[in-house]
Structure 1
Amino acid sequence: MKKLINRRPGKPASWALGLLPFLLLIVAYMLASDARLTENPNDKLLPALDSFVQAIDRMAFEPSKRSGEYLLWEDTLASLQRLGIGVAISALIAVVVGIGNGTIPLIRSTFSPLVTGLSLVPPMAILPVLFIIFGLGELAKVMLIIIGITPFMIRDLQQRAMEIPAEQIIKMQTLGANTWQIITRLVWPQLMPRLISAVRLSLGPAWLFLIAAEAIAATEGLGYRIFLVRRYLSMDVILPYVVWITLLAFAIDFLLSRYSQWRYPWFHQKSH
């Protein structure tokens, strides 16, 4: 008989085990909601599941009486645009600075302490500063994402670049490669799958910073809508929005993972 540590579920069992906690959460919510609604039919804290269906239909498939827009899709588009721009700029800065810090000692001695210091600054603490400097428009929201995740991505890529075996660099130098050729032909290819991994790990904090910025100063967006309806205790809207944000985050992470496995199979074989 195999020890527990050596037992691995098959693919169907993995799917079933992965879905089990979600099903248990749904059942637990239904039981708690029924108990509260039995005691108080007007309770708003744990609305019935059919209330969610009505709210989703109202937000996603009925135009707003005020603006004529489909609010869920309008909010989703606004948030994804901010998130995409912020994460893309962060990734670009991270790969440039991370490679420089990781491969060239003079650059590392100059910028590595600054990056470390910036990574220790709580991004939410400087949110008011960003609104003062950049105003209440889109730039401040994107900047919060950039400031929040870029230093950690830089430090991760820097460390990965420093872990490249020195023998590989020496061999390229022996063959006459210059610094630029070493970076573009050795360091860059090895760091690209690690950049995707860094982006995947940064998506959670990026969503957090985005929702916080939208909650304070925005006229559309998923975070804006959640904090707008909270004053009415509209849990039938808030909870579906939270679930929708989770599904979006999962979908983005899944697509990045699949792309990485398709584009860099050697990296995933080595990591396993």
Structure 2
Amino acid sequence: MKWINHKPSRPIAIFLGLLPFVALILIYSIASQIRLTENPADKLLPAFETMWSTMSRMAFEPDKRNGNYLLWSDTAASLWRLGYGLIISTFLALMVGVAMGVLPYARAFFAPFTSAFSLIPPITVLPILFITLGLGEAAKVGLIVVGIAPIMIRALAQSAIDIPRELVMKAETLGASTWQITVRVILPNILPALITALRIGLCPAWIFLVSAEAIASTEGLGYRIFLVRRYMAMDIILPYVAWITLLAFLNDRALLLFSKRAFSWHHLEGDSI
């Protein structure tokens, strides 16, 4: 049997999946030990014990200045902004993307602008957002929307266009109106694509969020990372990066699990990543 047809068992798949993480931890541990042996005051690669002690303090000891538990207050602020950005982007993708996929006139109207707008580097729009929306939450949420909404709109529109024409023709034969075709044929078939677009948009959404928080914010995971970088506080920066990665991973897995539960028919053809 060819290797392309070999599939690992569940235990082997878990082992192979964990192997790169174990290797990364091992490599870091060795490199950190070497640097700290040469210079105990080295800040570049702090020991795991140092990072654990620092993060425990930030998670379970109130800050002396404001009384907040910094890790949790930063996490709540960032997730609030991320959530609002994803909700607005999802709403725009459904409204505009479905219209583009269903109505040729809407496609002719929106497609050129959406395609052009999606090519604008979102970071370059950040100063404009700060000038027009101020330095508050609106600009940070707006950057996420500007960054991922156009991509989600195009993905959803293409999914609607790719629906087999036979399904639409059958609905038309049965006398369905445009609205009924949209709600009963198009929408159910493209909802899995919406979840996929959200999953793909998670990574750039986090990038835009951290960028906005780094420039103008008083709390948030990105704000904290760029605040302590001037002190070379890698015992905070590295755990925060790992924490953001874990949050993004959990968000991605939650969306995948929801997709499998809600649209099991979409996942029958093969494994989902």
The TM-score with structure 2 as length reference comes to 0.98
Residue 237 of structure 1: aligned partner? 236
| 1:41 and 2:58 matched | no
| 1:70 Cα deviation from its structure 2 partner | 0.1
Residue 6 of structure 1: aligned partner? 5
Q: Which amino acid aligns with 1:16?
A: F
Q: Which amino acid aligns with 1:12?
A: P
1:42-66 per-residue CA deviation (whole Å, 9 max, x = no partner) reads 0000011100111111110110011
For 1:220 and 1:227, the matched residues in 2 are separated by 11
1:217-239 per-residue CA deviation (whole Å, 9 max, x = no partner) reads 00000000000000000000000
Residue 152 of structure 2: aligned partner? 153
Residue 187 of structure 1: aligned partner? 186
| 1:3 Cα deviation from its structure 2 partner | 3.0
Q: Which amino acid aligns with 1:21?
A: P
1:123-272 mapped onto 2 (5 Å cutoff): 123-270=122-269
For 2:26 and 2:166, the matched residues in 1 are separated by 57
- The unaligned stretches of length 5 or more in structure 1 are none
1:39-78 mapped onto 2 (5 Å cutoff): 39-78=38-77
For 1:7 and 1:101, the matched residues in 2 are separated by 41
1:104-127 per-residue CA deviation (whole Å, 9 max, x = no partner) reads 000000110000010000000111
Q: What is the number of residues matched between the two proteins?
A: 271
Superposition RMSD on alpha carbons, in Å?
Answer: 0.9
| Secondary structure of residue in 2 paired with 1:139 | helix
Residue 120 of structure 1: aligned partner? 119
Residue 29 of structure 1: aligned partner? 28
Residue 101 of structure 1: aligned partner? 100
For 1:231 and 1:154, the matched residues in 2 are separated by 39
CA spacing shift, 1:122–1:78, aligned 2, 3 Å:
same
Q: Which amino acid aligns with 2:241?
A: V
| Secondary structure of residue in 1 paired with 2:64 | coil
Q: Which amino acid aligns with 1:88?
A: I
For 1:271 and 1:165, the matched residues in 2 are separated by 20
Q: Which amino acid aligns with 1:249?
A: A
For 2:44 and 2:70, the matched residues in 1 are separated by 23
For 1:86 and 1:183, the matched residues in 2 are separated by 25
For 2:12 and 2:270, the matched residues in 1 are separated by 24
| Secondary structure of residue in 1 paired with 2:44 | coil
| 1:246 Cα deviation from its structure 2 partner | 0.6
CA spacing shift, 1:165–1:271, aligned 2, 3 Å:
farther
- The unaligned stretches of length 5 or more in structure 2 are none
1:109-156 per-residue CA deviation (whole Å, 9 max, x = no partner) reads 011000001000000011111100000000000000000000000000
| 1:271 Cα deviation from its structure 2 partner | 5.6
For 1:187 and 1:7, the matched residues in 2 are separated by 36
For 2:263 and 2:87, the matched residues in 1 are separated by 20
For 1:270 and 1:145, the matched residues in 2 are separated by 32
Q: Which amino acid aligns with 1:181?
A: Q
Q: Which amino acid aligns with 2:166?
A: E
Instruction: Give percent identity, aligned residues only.
Output: 55
Residue 83 of structure 2: aligned partner? 84
For 1:159 and 1:146, the matched residues in 2 are separated by 19
| Secondary structure of residue in 2 paired with 1:183 | helix
